Every structure is written in C-alpha cells, then in structure tokens.
Amino acid sequence: MFDGYTTSELMSIFAMQGFAGLSLFSVFVLMALGLAIIFGQMGVINMAHGEFMILGAYTTYLTSGFFQSYLPSLFGGYFFIAMILAFLICAALGALIEWLMIRHLYHRPLDTLLATWGLSLIMQQAYRSIFGAREVGVDLPDWMMGAFQVTDLVELPINGLFVMIIALSIALGVYLLMYRSTWGKKVRAVVQNRPMAEAVGINSAGVDRMTFALGCGIAGIAGAAFTMIGSTGPSSGQAYIVDTFLVVVFGGAQSLIGTIVSAFGISQAQSTMEFFLSGSMAKVLTLLVVVGILMLRPEGLMALKVRR
Amino acid sequence: MKSSSPLKWFASREGLYYLALALLLVVILPLALDPFRLNMVGKYLTYAFVAIGLVMCWGKAGILSLGQGVFFGLGGYCMAMFLKLEASTPEATAIQSTPGIPDFMDWNQLTALPWFWEPFHSLSFTLIAIIAVPVILAFVIGFAMFTRRVGGVYFAIITQAIAAILTILIIGQQGYTGGVNGITDLKTLAGWDIRTDAAKTTLYFVCVGMLFLCLFAARFVQNRKLGRILVAMNAQENRVRFSGYDVAAFKIFVFCLAAAFAGIGGALFTLIVGFMSPSFIGIVASIEMVIFCALGGRLSILGAVYGALLVNAAKSGFSESFPELWPFAMGALFIGVVLAFPNGLAGLYQSYVMPLEERLFKRKPKTEAAAPAPQKPVEKKDEGRDYDPMLDQYSPEKS
C-alpha cells in the first residue's frame, strides 16, 4: 500500500496523519479519562458518557453565542469560561444522576449499563428537541485559527494543538488528584476495600458521588474541547462511545497510564491507516485488532489484576 | 416438573400459559388484524427469537450480550443473499452491464459474483448457513472469552464492539453487501412469491410455528439439569466450577444457543419484511433487543415473546403518531425496568396476578376432589423464587 510514494512524501504523510491522529487521541483521552475514573474506580458502566460530553459541547456553544452578543470584546477568552461552565454543569448533573439512579445499582453492573443507556436515549432526544437535529458549530477566536508551518509539506493546526494541550493537562490533573491528593487516596481506598474504608471513617457514598460527578465533569470538558475541532449534533456522543469503551478496556480498566497509552495507539493506528485505506476499513481493522488482542489478553495492556 | 403425558402437561398451569400464547398468536391476532398489521406482528415476533435467546443467555446464565443483532443480522443476511441471487437472474438483470449479479454489485462496478456469494445459490446450504454462521461466530467469540474467564461488563462491551465492527464493515463494503441500503428488492423463495398478502400470512404462521419450536427448545434446556447449572453458574460461578463443571463450556453452549435463535429470527425477518439492512444489526438495534427481554422478564421465556411484541408495537404506535416522544418512552422503559421491576412483566405477573389465580385455583378442588392440581403452582412459585438472581447473584465476594 506504500507504492507510488517517495520516502519524504511518506514521512510527511505519517507526520500529518500522525497529527490528525493526535487530535483524535485528545478526544479519546478526554472521554476515556472520565470513563476510566467511573468504570475503573467504581465498576460502573456509564453509557450516557457521550451524552455528557455533548452537554459540555452545547454549553460551549451557548457560551460562545452569549459572548458574541453581549461581550464581544472578551470573545478571545470565552473558551476558558465555557470549559469551567461545562465542567460544573456536567458534574452537577452527574451528581444528580448518581443520587437518583446509579447508587441503587452498584451491585448490578449490567443493569447500570442498561439504565444509563436509557438515560442516554432521553438526553439525546432532549438535545434534539432543544437544539434541533442539525449539527451546530462554534466560532473559534482569532488566535486559535491558522496553523504552524513546520516544513513545506507539514502544517499543524493551532486548534488541534490547543485541544491536545488541554487533554494532556487534564490527564495530569486527574493523575495528581487520584494519586497525590487526600481525596484520591479515599477513592482508591474505597475501590480496594469498601468495608474497611468505611470502618476508618471514609464516607463511601459521598466518595462515590464525587467520583461519578468528576467523571461526568471531565466528559463535559471533553465536549467543550470537542467543539474546537468538530461540530456537535445530538448523536455525536454515541458515535464515540464504543471506541472510548474499547480504549478504556484495552488500556486496562484501573490504569490511567494504560488508558492514555491505548488511546494513543488506537488513534494513531486508525488515522495512519485512514490515509491508505478507506475510512471505514481503517476503523474496522483497528477495532478488529483491538478486539482480537483483548480476546488473547483480556486484562488489557496494563492491568493491575486479572478481571472477572 | 416432568409430566407423564403431553396431554396432562397442557392442562397444567405452564401448559395453559403456552396454550394462551398459541391462542393469541394463531387465532386471535390473525382474525383481528388485516394482512398488513399481521405482517407487522410477524416482524415483531422475529425479535422474540432473539429475546428468547437472551433470556437463556442473560437471564439464566448471566451473560449479557449487546451483540445479538450481529447474529440476527447474519441469519438475515444469509437468507437475503439467497433471495437476492434468486431475484437476480440473467433475464431479470439484462439491462446491467454484467447480467446475473445483484444490482448493487453492478452499481459498484463489480463484474463477477464474489466467492462467498456463490454457495448461496443453494437453498439447502442457505438453510444450514442461517444457523451455522451465527453459531460458529458465537463459538469463536465465546471460546475466546469464556475460557479466559472474561464475563460481565467486559463481555458486554466486546460484543457491542463486534456489533459496531460488523455494521461499519457492511456499510463500508457496499459492493459486496449492499451498503447502508442493505439487500433489497427480494422477490421469491424457491419460486414462491413472498410479496403477496397470502404469502405474508403463510410466513406469519411459519414464524409462529418456528417460535414455538424455539420456545420448546428453550424450555427443554431450562428444565433439564443443564438449565439448573446455568442458573447456578449465574449465582455462584466459583462454586459450580469447584463442583467439577466446566463453566466455560456451559457458557459457550448457551451463547451459541442464543445465537442460533437469533439467526433463525433474522432469516424470518428477511422473509417477512422483504429486505435486510445494517440498521437492524448495529449497536442501537442490538441493545434494543435486550430491552425486549428485560421488559418481558429476563427469567421468563414466554415473557420474552410478550416483551418483544409490546415494545415493538409501542414503537410503531409512537413512531406513527409522536415520533419525537418515542426515545423518551424507550429511555424511561430502560430505566424503569432496571430500577423498578427488574424481573419485568413476568415478575409483576408472578407477584400480583398469580396470588389471585391461586385463590381461584384453590377454590375449585373443594367442589371436586382433584387435589394435585393446586399443589403444582405453589411448588412452581417457590421455584421461581429460587431463580431470582437479585437475591444472591451479586454477592460481595464477586465484586
């Protein structure tokens, strides 16, 4: 499949596709981080994760509209406000959902999956009724447009770079939160041994709610970042959910590093192959390889223990 | 509950439930509905095959597959490929640049029939493939997963990914599969026109007949030791393993059984609806099949039939009058079934209607001397309690 390309062309193709893969990687990391927290730490499958992401995207869309009409002078910085708003709104909704629904189902993981699927249907239809079925996009501030010209053949769009920086800083933040803060210690304690954690005075129900809210909040940020590189429709979230679950499972459910590594591998494989094959075949091949590896090595890339 | 003679079984309570379903499907619905509606009921019933498989696989054995649409679709596509080849005779496709191949292949500049289409010229091969293809795939997936002790949500995610892969593959490979439109314009089955009203009514009855065959097959498995082991495996997998049973083999078996049912359902779907497309296979379709089973009651094979009928009837009803409300109703159904009544309609029936029945049944023998009749239901009810997975399925040691 490499016939007819010179070496330098191939290098540029790999560099460009590699960068396109990096944008996909950023989206995967942002979505998968939220999922990895909820799924890896609590064992809960949140099928509505994509819809939380879209909620963040619509929040950004509304914020950008608000800034455009009322505060045009501050338009360059709206994205940061939108990101915070998206986090807060999604986290609040997440906490509410946890209280209403998820907490009754912790001992029935398969049922959580179905219930959150129901939730995702409702959220999707709500978006469709409120925002319409058409995809919406936001206007980028001036500083985010354009591209870096690295060589004659390679140029990197700034919005893509920006999203990548957000993804990596959030990954770093989550890492610090989980492994360097008291709260993270509590979360890990509850995961490892719930009765003992309770016995030493950790409010495990509170920790659960916060964990779920945090995961949803990160999905909100993912959605906000998503608007920088693509448009948002009511069912955009669903398009990503299977990929993201595979990313999390492939990385090894309880390992944040594994999640990032597998997000990188899957996104790079997909975008590199996309150039040479048709988009759908690239996706099929990537997913097949991932599923195949998971069948041979069910614990994922970096697992802490064999899963049951 | 083995019965000494089949006649006696029909008089037992369980037999009466089957008779009631048969009465509904064979007598009441065909009399009450016009051929168009009856055809739609037939379409709903094809989903009941999948739901019965899910009862065995998910309800009994605790394996949630979110990829049943794959097996449904494979069965359906096998049937559709045969029908399409029969419809694409050189005479009928004379205007194409390559006569004798299906029209969508011609549109995609294919000049010869792909190799995997060739065997579908034969009806007997097709009939075998309808069951064999899904079962082989299920066996491969099941063997890879269950011997490595992968289960629960991981299995659900992997099966969902497989549903996604197959859908993307079918849509992407337009020339070989018909793409997003699917395989359409199917005309005859071995020379018999399937598009007439009479043919559709016949197909409906064939579907009902096959459904009862599958119901009895499922019941057979459920009432044997095999069925008990499946339920035991769901409740306490390690204890079953330590008792010397090969847990993986039982799981593979029940997964293949569910796949076979789904394949049959898919083939009948193609015949009844007249086409097959990737939209009946994908993630959304597959997970909807789970709700048919969950609404009917994940432990009741008869409930699955009612679940499939009710959800689909509601779906068509809503889509005709308030299409924008249907996703809300469906979402609420998912949440409600899980949170409020995890054992579905069958569970509600058991806890509310059965006590009433019991009272009616108990009054009877006072006048007549037939004592054994009322005892059976009581016995059965206790058994139903034993099946309840909510009680001990998720013991702390498992998580």
Is residue B312 included in any domain, yes or no?
no
Interface A-B: count of C-beta contacts within 8 A: 130
pLDDT at B3 over 60: no
CB contact under 8 Å between A245 and B339, yes or no, is no
Average pLDDT over residues B144-159: 84
The span from the CA of A206 to the CA of A38, in Å, is: 14
Residue A101 to residues A113, A209, A245: CA-CA distances in angstroms?
A: 11, 11, 21
Stronger pLDDT, B131 or A19, i.e. the higher one: B131
**Is residue A121 less than 8 Å (CB to CB) from chain B?**
yes
Whether the predicted pLDDT of B224 surpasses 80:
yes
- Using CA coordinates, name the residue in chain A closest to B149: A308
Whether A262 is covered by a domain: the verdict is no
Q: Whole-angstrom Cα distance, residue B138 to residue B156?
A: 13
Residue of B nearest to A114 (CA): B334
CA distances (Å), origin A280, targets A107, A273, B258? 38, 10, 29
Say if residue B392's pLDDT is above 50: no
What confidence tier does B5 reach under pLDDT thresholds 50, 70, 90?
A: low
Residue B330 within a domain? no
SS3 at position B183: strand
pLDDT digits (tens, 9 = 90+) for B38-58: 888 999 999 999 999 999 999
Say whether pLDDT at B296 is over 80: yes
Residue of A nearest to B163 (CA): A242
Q: Which domain holds residue B1?
A: 1-32
Band (pLDDT 50/70/90 cuts) for residue B370 is very low
- Find the CB nearest A114 among B157, B334, B399: B334
Greater model confidence, A75 or B333: B333
Indicate the pLDDT class of residue B366, thresholds 50, 70 and 90: very low
Residue numbers in B near A115 (CB within 8 A): 334-335, 338-339
The predicted structure's pLDDT at residue B50: 93
CA distances from residue B384 to B61, B350, B388 in whole angstroms, order as listed: 15, 9, 7
Can you tell me which residue has the tokens 């769009």?
A: A157
Task: Please check the confidence at residue A191 and state whether its pLDDT lies above 90.
Answer: no
Amino acid identity for residue B158 in this structure: I
Residue A293 placed within a domain? no
Co-location of B9 and B68 in the same domain: no
- Does residue B251 form part of some domain? yes
The total of structural domains in chain B comes to 2
**Model pLDDT, residue B214:** 92
Q: Is the pLDDT of residue B252 over 90?
A: yes
Using CA atoms, how far apart are residues A204 and A135, in angstroms rounded to an integer?
40
Asked if residue A34 belongs to a domain, the reply is yes
Instruction: Give the minimum alpha-carbon distance from B331 to chain A in angstroms, rounded to a whole number.
Output: 4
Q: For residue B382, is it within any domain?
A: no
Calculate Rg over the CA atoms of chain B.
Answer: 22
Mean residue pLDDT of chain B comes to 82
Q: Tell me how far apart the alpha carbons of residues A58 and A213 are, in angstroms, rounded to a whole number.
A: 18
Q: Convert the pLDDT of each residue in A271-288 to its tens digit.
A: 878 777 777 788 888 888
In B10-112 the beta strands, taken as DSSP E runs, fall at none
CA atoms within a 13 Å half-sphere pointing along the CA-CB vector of A30: 32
> Is there a domain that residue A285 lies in?
no
Q: Is residue B332 part of a domain?
A: no
pLDDT > 90? residue B260: yes
Backbone conformation region of residue B152, classed left if phi is above 0, alpha if psi is from -120 to 50, else beta: left
In Å, what is the CA distance from B386 to each residue of B342, B345, B360, B391? 15, 18, 24, 9
Q: What percent of chain B has pLDDT over 90?
A: 19
The pLDDT confidence band at residue A2, using thresholds 50, 70 and 90, is: low
B172 and B209 in a single domain? The answer is yes
Q: Tell me if B168 and A280 make a contact (CB, 8 A cut-off).
A: yes
A104 vs B contacts (CB less than 8 Å): 339
Question: Of A244 and B190, which is predicted with more confidence?
Answer: A244
B110 touches chain A (CB under 8 A): no
Q: What is the pTM of this model?
A: 0.85
Shortest distance between the Cα of A94 and any Cα of chain B, in A, equals: 16
Alpha helices in B322-353 (DSSP H): 326-339, 344-348
Overall average pLDDT of the A31-47 stretch: 84
Is residue B369 in a domain? no
In angstroms, what CA-CA distances link B69 with A117, A272, A273, B308?
16, 30, 28, 14
Residue A291 lies in a domain: no
Q: Which ipTM did the prediction report?
A: 0.84
State how far the Cα of A24 lies from the Cα of A163, in Å rounded to an integer: 10
**Interface test with chain A among B236, B339, B393, by most A beta carbons within 10 Å:** B339
**B275 secondary structure, DSSP code:** -
Question: Tokens 């509590």 identify what position?
Answer: A186
Asked if A51 and A234 count as a contact pair (C-beta separation under 8 A), the reply is no
User: HEC string of chain A?
Assistant: CCCCCCHHHHHHHHHHHHHHHHHHHHHHHHHHHHHHHHHHHHCCCCCCHHHHHHHHHHHHHHHHHHHHHHCHHHHHHHHHHHHHHHHHHHHHHHHHHHHHCHHHHCCCHHHHHHHHHHHHHHHHHHHHHHHCCCCECCCCCHHHCCEEECCCCCEEEHHHHHHHHHHHHHHHHHHHHHHHCHHHHHHHHHHHCHHHHHHCCCCHHHHHHHHHHHHHHHHHHHHHHHHHHCCECCCHHHHHHHHHHHHHHHHCCCCHHHHHHHHHHHHHHHHHHHHHCCHHHHHHHHHHHHHHHHHHCCCCCCCCCCCC
pLDDT tens-digit map of A48-71: 998 999 999 999 999 888 888 887
- Euclidean distance between CA atoms A90 and A212, whole angstroms: 10
Cα dist from B243 to A108, B176, B236, B238, whole Å: 25, 49, 11, 8
Q: Is residue A98 part of a domain?
A: yes
B361 within some domain: no
Q: Is residue A249 part of a domain?
A: no
- Any A CB within 8 A of B332 CB: yes
Same domain for B102 and B173, yes or no, is: yes
B65 and B1: one domain?
Answer: no
pLDDT attached to residue B394 = 42
Counting every residue written for chain A, the total comes to 308
Quote the CA–CA distance of B49 and B71 in Å, as a whole number. 11
What lies within 8 Å, CB to CB, of A231 at 6+ separation is A135, A136, A137
AA letter at A25:
F
- Nearest CA to CA, how far is A194 from chain B (Å)? 10
SS3 B329: helix
Structure tokens of A3? 């016939």
Q: What is the DSSP string of B85-114?
A: HHH--TTTTTTSSSTTS-HHHHHTT--S--
Separation between Cα atoms, residue B268 and residue B130, nearest integer Å: 10
CA distance A290 to B148: 16
Phi and psi, residue A136, nearest 5°: -115, 150
Most confident range (mean pLDDT) of A6-10, B105-109, B285-289, B347-351 is B285-289
The per-residue pLDDT for range A179-190, each reduced to its tens digit, is: 889 888 888 888
Residue B377 has pLDDT above 50, yes or no: no
**Mean pLDDT, all residues of chain A:** 83
Separation CA A17–CA A162 (nearest Å): 17
B219 and B133 in a single domain? The answer is: yes
Pick the closest to residue B83 from B117, B41, B43 (CA basis): B117
Residue B352 lies in a domain: no
Binary contact (B164, A104; C-beta < 8 A): no
Domain count of the fold of chain A = 1
Q: How many CA atoms lie within 13 A of A47 on its CB side?
A: 27
Cα first-last separation, chain A? 40
Domain that holds residue A228: 15-237
